Chains A and B, each alone.
Chain A
């Protein structure tokens, strides 16, 4: 296949191949890239799940069951660590992050021992719950990487 600068995509005459204009070529390549990324062939894209739990409340959210999450948390607006925070979320699993005595800790819950107000995770998704027994607000943020991982840097 060859391409010239303009004009329609036309079958060439006898002996010739198929001629595609640069304009059409750019359009087709653009569409193919958009479809490959947009339909999730390379991955689900960057995911961000934020859970806000006021003092003595519980918050939960359903999310994709994927690996490679980075986790951060704040307690009363200050950065706080979560002990044993899961970075790999399994399908059908519920992960409970509890704030108690100004400390955040995480554990996987069984269906029989789900916190009050938290339903079981869907079979193809994971669920994160924040049970806040502290007197201050807790925010937990789960972030996954981009659909296309750039090995050298995350551009722009």
Chain B
């Protein structure tokens, strides 16, 4: 079995900036071995760090495993690129794929009641955030004279869920592949620092784990970094962040449909564009959300005993570690250098807007309207 995930080709709007050529099993072996070794290494280092802190009387390891994994990935990324061996492991680097499996497994830890309660607030937050941030980014991109396709891809990435939304939007508006890889780099470049700095800021602001999780989920662009920030803040924040982000992800399909319709009827009017069908919504719907909900239901109704849901949770951590290592491995500044400063300004401006708005909205929804 082989998999591909869009990256270089925007047309089949898929999930992540992964290799566009369908790799064979043999192509996957070197990278898979490297990923397994690095993941084991991360766990060993994480354990050693935790023991070192414990020896100093600090019970909780402040350097959570997502950080360790990303740093290890970045170091190996640098070595691989310096030795021109990166392409040999590239086919196995599949951040979104590992992350989605991990998220399905995470469902075991979240009760159906929590899922519905958080999901309801998450949906309200997602609708407010996606609409506001999308149109703000679109407006700002227009002010700085970005192309319509780049504005569409960027607005979707900032407002919904980073890479996956960027690729979905790119498919809808026929953006160039360079625009997708450029946005992908920007997404990762901003998501990593946010993953690291948002938890201490939330701590300094005295946010509850629920509000903090909702803030991470509503603001950080990549699902991996959202889960990472939540993990750093604590288990409850991780749960809420994952649910809020998952709810936001569900809107990808609607955004892709809306964009396709807008470009067909307004931007490209008279260019023999076909009108999109509502099927786009289902095609872009993140299917892993179904798995996440199913596992949550199975755990909630007692099909999985409590002892075993802990084991499923441990399995999800393994998958998340794989995803975080991949984030470090796939990071590249090359596309960013080529694109110039104006898109960077728009993206950073939109991210600041997103961060502040998400803080207010998550506080109001999860701190005032649905306090938990």
Identify the A interface with B (CB < 8 A).
1-8, 20-31, 33-34, 37-40, 42, 44-47, 146-148, 152-153, 155-156
User: Which residues between 17 and 74 of chain B lie within 8 Å of chain A, taking CB atoms?
Assistant: 18, 22, 40, 43-44, 46-47, 65
State which of B1, B6, B16, B304 has its C-beta within 8 Å of the C-beta of A34.
Answer: B304
- Given known A22-B97, A26-B288, A155-B314, contact A34–B104 (CB-CB < 8 A): yes
Nearest B residue to A8, CB-CB: B283
Q: Are A27 and B104 in contact (CB-based, < 8 A)? A: yes
- Given known A8-B283, A26-B101, contact A46–B288 (CB-CB < 8 A): no
User: What is the 8 Å Cβ interface bit string for chain B, positions 275-298, against chain A (1 contact, 0 not)?
Assistant: 000000011101110111011001
Query: Which A residues are CB-close (under 8 A) to B43?
Result: 152-153, 155-156
Can you list 17 A-B pairs with a CB-CB distance of less than 8 A? A1-B1, A4-B5, A5-B167, A22-B94, A23-B286, A27-B100, A27-B288, A28-B291, A31-B294, A34-B104, A38-B298, A38-B305, A39-B304, A152-B43, A155-B321, A156-B43, A156-B46
Q: Does B145 contact A (CB under 8 A)?
A: no
Q: Are A33 and B312 in contact (CB-based, < 8 A)? A: yes
Q: Are A8 and B282 in contact (CB-based, < 8 A)? A: yes
- Given known A6-B14, A30-B103, contact A22–B311 (CB-CB < 8 A): no
Q: Are A45 and B14 in contact (CB-based, < 8 A)? A: no
Q: Does B299 contact A (CB under 8 A)?
A: yes
- Given known A23-B288, A45-B305, A46-B311, contact A3–B317 (CB-CB < 8 A): no
Q: Are A2 and B104 in contact (CB-based, < 8 A)? A: no
Q: Are A5 and B308 in contact (CB-based, < 8 A)? A: no
Query: Which B residues are CB-close (under 8 A) to A21?
Result: 14, 287
Query: Which B residues are CB-close (under 8 A) to A47?
Result: 307
A50–B97 alpha-carbon span in the complex (Å): 40
Kindly provide the distance from the CB of B166 to the nearest chain A CB, expressed in whole angstroms.
13
Query: Which A residues are CB-close (under 8 A) to B290?
Result: 27
Q: Does B303 contact A (CB under 8 A)?
A: yes
Nearest A residue to B40, CB-CB: A152
Query: Which B residues are CB-close (under 8 A) to A2?
Result: 1-4, 22
User: What is the 8 Å Cβ interface bit string for chain B, positions 3-17, against chain A (1 contact, 0 not)?
Assistant: 111100000111110
Identify the B interface with A (CB < 8 A).
1-6, 12-16, 18, 22, 40, 43-44, 46-47, 65, 94, 96-98, 100-105, 107-108, 167-168, 282-284, 286-288, 290-292, 294-295, 298-299, 303-305, 307-312, 314-315, 317-318, 321
A40–B304 alpha-carbon span in the complex (Å): 8
- Starting from the known contacts A33-B104, A34-B105, A153-B40, 19 additional A-B residue pairs (CB-CB under 8 Å) come to A2-B1, A4-B6, A4-B12, A6-B168, A6-B283, A8-B282, A22-B5, A22-B100, A24-B287, A27-B288, A27-B291, A30-B291, A31-B295, A34-B298, A34-B304, A38-B308, A153-B47, A155-B43, A156-B43
Q: Are B18 and A5 in contact (CB-based, < 8 A)? A: yes
A39–B311 alpha-carbon span in the complex (Å): 11
Count: A-B pairs, CB below 8 Å: 172
- Given known A4-B14, A6-B12, contact A156–B314 (CB-CB < 8 A): yes
Kindly provide the distance from the CB of B95 to the nearest chain A CB, expressed in whole angstroms.
11
Q: Are A4 and B314 in contact (CB-based, < 8 A)? A: no
Nearest A residue to B99, CB-CB: A26
Best-surrounded residue of A27, A30, A147 (most CB of chain B within 10 A): A30
A46–B5 alpha-carbon span in the complex (Å): 37
Q: Are B3 and A44 in contact (CB-based, < 8 A)? A: no
Q: Are B314 and A31 in contact (CB-based, < 8 A)? A: no
Kindly provide the distance from the CB of A34 to the nearest chain B CB, expressed in whole angstroms.
5
A29–B94 alpha-carbon span in the complex (Å): 14
Query: Which B residues are CB-close (under 8 A) to A148?
Result: 311, 314-315
Kindly provide the distance from the CB of B50 to the nearest chain A CB, expressed in whole angstroms.
9
A40–B311 alpha-carbon span in the complex (Å): 10
- Given known A4-B12, A34-B104, A45-B305, contact A26–B314 (CB-CB < 8 A): no
A47–B321 alpha-carbon span in the complex (Å): 25
A155–B41 alpha-carbon span in the complex (Å): 11
A40–B298 alpha-carbon span in the complex (Å): 13
State which of A20, A40, A42 has its C-beta within 8 Å of the C-beta of B305.
Answer: A40
Query: Which A residues are CB-close (under 8 A) to B298?
Result: 34, 38
